[in-house]
């Protein structure tokens, strides 16, 4: 199935700093979803991007889908301690059933 690479694997920032995680695919994606998993919790849906070059904002979070639909990014402005967790991108497996394949995630630690 389709695989995605996420970088960085870990990020440690001071509260108030910005944070970005990237998701890259070798093949063109039909869409991409982003999830957040708090420590000890389960993945929670954040957003889905479908269109080439799409940009969506949720308060301090900005999501982008590349023009070629092969990469995506999640940017958090002025991080807060509540942003702590692991951020996953997920893409549909077009080979079978379109179930989501998840990246390895970027773990964000925010210190006050």
Does 85 contact other proteins by CB under 8 A? no
Spatial CB neighbours of 105, under 8 Å, sequence gap ≥ 6: 6, 9, 37, 86, 87, 88
Among 20, 48, 62, 77, binds other proteins (CB under 8 A): 48
The answer to the question of residue 43 lying near other proteins (CB under 8 A) is yes
Site size toward other proteins (CB under 8 A) is: 25
Contact between 73 and 63 (Cβ < 8 Å): yes
Assess 82 for contact with other proteins (CB under 8 A).
Answer: no
Return d(Cα 110, Cα 112) in angstroms, integer: 7
Q: Would you tell me which residues interact with other proteins (CB under 8 A)?
A: 1, 30, 33, 35, 41-45, 48, 88, 90, 92-94, 96-105
């Amino acid at each position: 199935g389709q695989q995605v690479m996420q970088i960085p694997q870990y990020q440690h920032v001071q509260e108030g700093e910005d944070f970005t995680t990237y998701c890259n695919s070798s093949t063109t994606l039909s869409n991409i979803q982003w999830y957040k998993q708090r420590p000890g919790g389960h993945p929670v849906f954040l957003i889905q991007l479908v269109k080439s070059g799409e940009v969506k904002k949720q308060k301090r979070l900005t999501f982008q889908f590349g023009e070629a639909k092969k990469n995506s990014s999640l940017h958090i402005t002025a991080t807060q301690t509540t942003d702590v967790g692991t951020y996953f991108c997920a893409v549909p497996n077009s080979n079978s059933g379109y179930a989501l394949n998840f990246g390895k995630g970027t773990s964000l630690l925010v210190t006050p």
